Amino acid sequence: MLHSAAKFPTRVAIKRIIPISSGKGGVGKTTFAINFSLALSRHGRTILVDLDTGTSAIRNAIDVPIEKDLYHFFRKGEPLNSCVTHLDAKLDPKGVFRNFGFVAGPLHLIDEITNFGAANKDRLIEAINGLDADYVILDMRAGLDANVIDFLPFSNSGVLIFTPHLPSATLAASDIVKAILFRKLRLIFSRESPFFSTVNGKLDFWKLINDLIDQVEDVYDSAIGNLDAFADDLAGNLGDHPITRTVQQTLDEFRVHYVLNLFNGVEDSFQTAVKPFIENLTSNVSARCGVTNLGWITRSEAIHRANCNKIPAMLLPPEGKKAPKSSRVDQELEDLRSMAIGMEPVRKKAARQQKSSSTVDPADHLANQLNVLRSMFDQKKDDDFHANFDYASQRALFTMKTRRPSEFGDIRVYRPAEMLATIFAKSNVPTSIDWGELDL
Ligand SMILES: Nc1ncnc2c1ncn2[C@@H]1O[C@H](COP(=O)(O)OP(=O)(O)O)[C@@H](O)[C@H]1O
Ligand SMILES: [Mg+2]
């Protein structure tokens, strides 16, 4: 019997976009992006887009014929949706991953595609927003230039990858958070922003805020150490003012999500990756934002061999006795529900009560991360890499289900004007601001 759509509406899932970045090359972004996308594709249509367009990394890691790629999108005017490649019967004989597809970077280095100018970038962003999928994963290139930053969300980090025993990678990961947060603050306090639209003749105000932001961002200028000190400074000088509230709110609402690659046990990973990351983040950027560990990927020869053989690790048969059980998904969801998964920073309540970041204790972040790692490890220490990727995808799905898109898995790659409109559409910044007497 056929049911009418009106009677039995099918739930239309909104698309969620998750960039995978690290700030540094060689830490496993592409490996994670491919296998995470494969794991996610068992839950919905997933498209992985290669935005590290100079390296052809994804096409080199998946041995399947590619008919159309970003070259066809940029040079031949093909819609991005028709540049998606699916696995063939050789790689996926049972069709388990039929919901997975990827957009490959160009075969050779093509400058305008590798370093897209503003127009190309806009076109690509629009096309990514129009991809026909439930989940879109972006494999980012290393570095912090505009071709990376412009594809990152404004209010969360996407998935950051870093790894034990590589201090530069943990520093780079916290630098990404810093870059995203400053981009958002600069946007909110830009000349185009509705924030200043009511302040005729008070452009000094604009200059003052932007000079302060410059000062905080400059690591060589130690006058204002990080964004929390900046928020405190504003609170001290302006009191409960729209500017103060906006900065505090931007920091409090920001969410960081990370995955540890090349995981080598709780204590070592904590000491050489998580701790330095949280310390960098809290001392150089902010201790106010939430930090969530989405899991880890063990160091595995099989993963590396799979990459070299151009067969993504998730497509390999499970490793004998450690094979995931069929009840795994249910079990994992149960674990997720019962486990404190560290999304809400402990210090949040105190910070809100006193409207000051001086109550924010970075040690809470560290204790929280260690607890989460320990409880995950208690349950997951025997997991193989298949289970690691499954677990990270379960945690990501759980986060998307329980959190707003702005916190993880945005529904669009926002361009600045669009982001401003979104922020001010829902913000409590009054249309006419009483700026009071300024004495900074
Ligand atoms: N969990 C892992 N175990 C073993 N080798 C890994 C793992 N993750 C990545 N690698 C290897 O590390 C190298 C860099 O990985 P890649 O995914 O290309 O990093 P990125 O995209 O960040 O540059 C590759 O040779 C890859 O095979
Ligand atoms: Mg890569």
5, 191, 205, 316, 386 from 320: Cα distances, Å: 44, 60, 65, 11, 12
- The total number of structural domains that make up the chain: 1
How much is the pLDDT for 9?
43
Residue 365 has pLDDT above 60, yes or no: yes
User: Does 435 fall in a domain?
Assistant: no
| 54 or 175: which leads in pLDDT | 175
Residue 10 has pLDDT above 50, yes or no: no
Q: Confidence band (pLDDT; 50, 70, 90) for 333? A: low
User: Does 438 fall in a domain?
Assistant: no
Q: How far does residue 334's CA lie from ligand 1's centre (Å)?
A: 30
> Using CA atoms, how far apart are residues 50 and 20, in angstroms rounded to an integer?
10
Looking at residues 336-343, what average pLDDT do you find? 47
Q: With 0-12 CB in 10 A as exposed, 13-18 as middle and 19+ as buried, what is 1?
A: exposed
Q: Which atom of ligand 1 is nearest to the CA of 25?
A: 23
The region of weakest confidence among 4-8, 77-81, 278-282, 356-360 is: 4-8
**Parallel, antiparallel or unpaired: strands 100-103 and 85-86:** antiparallel
Q: How far does residue 265's CA lie from ligand 2's centre (Å)?
A: 24
What is the token pair recorded at 274? 């998580």
How much is the pLDDT for 407?
95
How much is the pLDDT for 370?
86
Residue 138 has pLDDT above 70, yes or no: yes
Q: Is the CB of 18 under 6 A from ligand 1?
A: no
Q: Within its chain, how far is the Cα of 404 from the centroid?
A: 13
- Which residue's alpha carbon is nearest to atom 23 within ligand 1? 26
| 197 or 74: which leads in pLDDT | 74
> Using CA atoms, how far apart are residues 432 and 199, in angstroms rounded to an integer?
8
Q: How far does residue 28's CA lie from ligand 2's centre (Å)?
A: 7
Task: HSE, CB side, 13 Å, CA atoms: give it for residue 202.
Answer: 14
Q: How far does residue 49's CA lie from ligand 2's centre (Å)?
A: 11
Q: Is 46 helix (H, G, I), strand (E, B) or coil?
A: strand
Q: Integer distance in angstroms from the first to the last C-alpha of the chain?
A: 72
Q: Which atom of ligand 1 is nearest to the CA of 161?
A: 22
Q: Quick check: 8 and 127 in contact, CB under 8 A?
A: no
Q: Is the CB of 163 under 6 A from ligand 1?
A: no
**Parallel, antiparallel or unpaired: strands 85-86 and 16-21:** unpaired
Return the best residue to mutate from 53, 296, 307 for the ligand 1 pocket (most ligand atoms within 8 A of CB): 307
| 383 or 315: which leads in pLDDT | 315
Q: How far does residue 260's CA lie from ligand 2's centre (Å)?
A: 15
Q: How far does residue 191's CA lie from ligand 2's centre (Å)?
A: 36
Q: Confidence band (pLDDT; 50, 70, 90) for 309? A: very high
Task: Give pTM, 2 decimals.
Answer: 0.88
> Using CA atoms, how far apart are residues 349 and 332, in angstroms rounded to an integer?
29
Q: How far does residue 287's CA lie from ligand 1's centre (Å)?
A: 30
Domain membership of residue 294 as a residue range:
16-426
Q: Is 99 helix (H, G, I), strand (E, B) or coil?
A: coil
Task: State the chain's mean pLDDT as an integer.
Answer: 85
Closest CA to 174 of 155, 186, 161, 193: 161
4, 10, 192 from 1: Cα distances, Å: 10, 16, 56
What is the token pair recorded at 68? 């159309």
Q: Is the CB of 54 under 6 A from ligand 1?
A: no
Q: How far does residue 40's CA lie from ligand 1's centre (Å)?
A: 19
User: Does 20 fall in a domain?
Assistant: yes
User: Does 433 fall in a domain?
Assistant: no
User: Does 305 fall in a domain?
Assistant: yes
Q: Is 195 helix (H, G, I), strand (E, B) or coil?
A: helix
**Which DSSP helix (H) or strand (E) runs through 425?**
helix 416-426
Q: Is the CB of 25 under 6 A from ligand 1?
A: yes
Q: Tell me, what CATH number does 236's domain have? A: 3.40.50.300
> Using CA atoms, how far apart are residues 342 and 255, in angstroms rounded to an integer?
11
Looking at residues 254-275, what average pLDDT do you find? 93
Q: Is the CB of 61 under 6 A from ligand 1?
A: no
Task: HSE, CB side, 13 Å, CA atoms: give it for residue 136.
Answer: 29
- pLDDT tens digits along 175-231: 999 999 999 999 999 988 888 765 555 557 788 888 889 988 888 888 788 999 999
How much is the pLDDT for 148?
93
Closest CA to 358 of 350, 346, 368, 369: 350
- Which residue's alpha carbon is nearest to atom 27 within ligand 1? 304
Q: Confidence band (pLDDT; 50, 70, 90) for 259? A: very high
Q: Within its chain, how far is the Cα of 205 from the centroid?
A: 32
265, 324, 395 from 321: Cα distances, Å: 20, 9, 24
User: Does 205 fall in a domain?
Assistant: yes
> Using CA atoms, how far apart are residues 362 and 340, in angstroms rounded to an integer?
18
Looking at residues 332-355, what average pLDDT do you find? 48
How much is the pLDDT for 275?
93
What is the token pair recorded at 43? 């839950």
Count the residues in the chain: 440
How much is the pLDDT for 201?
53
CA Rg, the chain, in Å? 22
Q: Is the CB of 300 under 6 A from ligand 1?
A: yes
Q: How far does residue 31's CA lie from ligand 1's centre (Å)?
A: 6
Return the best residue to mutate from 20, 30, 31 for the ligand 1 pocket (most ligand atoms within 8 A of CB): 31
> Using CA atoms, how far apart are residues 387 and 317, in angstroms rounded to an integer?
12
Residue 17 has pLDDT above 90, yes or no: yes
How much is the pLDDT for 193?
87
**For the chain, give me the number of helices (H) and strands (E)?**
18, 8
Q: Which atom of ligand 1 is nearest to the CA of 261?
A: 1
User: Does 437 fall in a domain?
Assistant: no
How much is the pLDDT for 434?
44
Q: Confidence band (pLDDT; 50, 70, 90) for 306? A: very high
How much is the pLDDT for 328?
53
> Using CA atoms, how far apart are residues 393 and 380, in angstroms rounded to an integer?
14
| 17 or 197: which leads in pLDDT | 17
> Using CA atoms, how far apart are residues 217 and 182, in angstroms rounded to an integer?
8
The region of weakest confidence among 80-94, 138-152, 164-178, 347-361 is: 347-361
Q: Confidence band (pLDDT; 50, 70, 90) for 8? A: very low
What is the token pair recorded at 63? 């041995």
Q: Is the CB of 303 under 6 A from ligand 1?
A: yes
Residue 348 has pLDDT above 90, yes or no: no
> Using CA atoms, how far apart are residues 27 and 32, in angstroms rounded to an integer?
9
How much is the pLDDT for 341?
47
- pLDDT tens digits along 428-440: 544 444 444 333 3
User: Does 415 fall in a domain?
Assistant: yes
